[in-house]
Amino acid sequence: MTFEDDVIKNTVNKLMKGEDYRDEVINAINAKFFDFTLSFFKKIVEAKMNDKLITLEWYRKYFITSDRFSPDEVAVFAGMNKKTITNIYGTASKNLVLDVANNNFDYLNSLVAELEKDVSNDLNINIKISYKEITVNLSLEESLLVINALATKKLQIRGGAWSSIGKKVEKPLLDELCKSAGVPKKNIDNKPFHKDKKKAFDREVDYKLKSSDGKVYRIEVKLMGKGNPESADATIARDSDIFVADTLSEQNKNQLKARRVEYLVLKDNKHSLDDFKKILKRLKIPFSV
């Protein structure tokens, strides 16, 4: 079992118990960030020891213009997020990312140079990194660039983690709910989504359940904060019949009721399995009592 599998498993267990799952995501974010940080520091030691340049050009040479890193990594080292580049320019081709990274590095270079002039003589930032009996010291300018790259990476990891964990938990969560309720496998459709070419608009849903009379019910899962309007709106976009959520505001609940959508709230709900069975009973979906 991988680290991410362990996070997903723990998240599902907490949701089933009505507990808050967010600490699992935060732990995953911190673990990935610390792993990146240690790896980044090792690369810095290698770069500093193998280059005689005393200006920040050693950083550009090793982290920005080098072929040893992917465009995504180069963007982070230059204090940019590849997704941000895509949003600005509509693409994130390798050449564009490298050009943007170079330009942003020039900007940061000039910025930290100006800051260094304005900084009080009483303030100094000096990062000391030791690895395998080798020690390097980073100047104020170098330290600020490294701190900026780390901050960029933390934001990138955080943004991706919340989205990724939410999507990857949806199917295992519904699998566990159906297993615990005793829904027969023949009434479960959890296969990967395939677009129906005959339909002009055919949006993916997380899960489908079949009733005893053959009717198919579409299920949507959203692990979102209370009151987020996108929670209830997702049922319109995907024509869902059952909505499973971490939390829902009263307005969200009223919206779902008005659309005749069944919903299940998990957080602080010690009886979520019983509530799920009630939904199954109302929709005539078989389950073991």
Which residue, of 129, 161, 193, is where some domain finishes? Answer: 161
Q: Are residues 147 and 266 in the same domain?
A: no
Q: Is the pLDDT confidence value at 215 over 80?
A: yes
pLDDT, tens only, 109-126? 888 877 777 665 666 777
Q: Are residues 16 and 145 in the same domain?
A: yes
Lowest mean pLDDT among 188-192, 244-248, 254-258: 188-192
pLDDT, tens only, 33-72? 999 999 999 999 988 888 777 678 899 889 998 888 998 9
Q: Are residues 124 and 70 in the same domain?
A: yes
Q: Are residues 63 and 139 in the same domain?
A: yes
Whether 289 is covered by a domain: the verdict is no
User: How many separate domains does the chain show?
Assistant: 2
How many angstroms from the chain centroid is the CA of residue 251? 27
CA distance 239 to 130: 57
pLDDT attached to residue 66: 85
pLDDT, tens only, 16-37? 999 988 888 898 899 999 999 9
Is 192 or 142 the better-scoring residue by pLDDT? Answer: 142
Q: Are residues 156 and 221 in the same domain?
A: no
Whether 171 is covered by a domain: the verdict is no
pLDDT attached to residue 184: 95
Instruction: Give the residue ranges of DSSP H helices in the chain.
Output: 3-16, 22-49, 57-59, 71-77, 82-89, 94-118, 140-181, 229-237, 250-258, 272-282
Long-range contacts from 176-182, C-beta under 8 angstroms, 24+ separation: 176/12, 176/16, 177/16, 177/244, 177/272, 177/273, 177/276, 178/209, 180/16, 180/273, 181/273, 181/276, 181/277, 181/280, 181/287, 181/288, 182/287, 182/288, 182/289
pLDDT, tens only, 147-161? 999 999 999 998 888
Global pTM reads 0.76
Q: Are residues 152 and 204 in the same domain?
A: no
Q: Are residues 134 and 204 in the same domain?
A: no
pLDDT attached to residue 201: 41
Is residue 190 within 8 Å of residue 207, measured between CB atoms?
yes
Q: Is the pLDDT confidence value at 134 over 60?
A: yes
Q: Is the pLDDT confidence value at 200 over 50?
A: no
Q: Is the pLDDT confidence value at 202 over 50?
A: no
Query: What domain range is 190 assigned to?
Result: 182-282
Q: Are residues 65 and 147 in the same domain?
A: yes
Q: Are residues 11 and 149 in the same domain?
A: yes
H, E, C per residue of 206-254: CEEEECCCCCEEEEEEECCCCCCHHHHHHHHHCCCCEEEECCCCHHHHH
Q: Are residues 107 and 194 in the same domain?
A: no
Q: Which residue shows structure tokens 């295992």?
A: 172
H, E, C per residue of 47-60: HHHCCCCCCCHHHH
The CATH number of the domain holding residue 186 is: 3.40.1350
pLDDT attached to residue 234: 56
Q: Is the pLDDT confidence value at 288 over 70?
A: yes
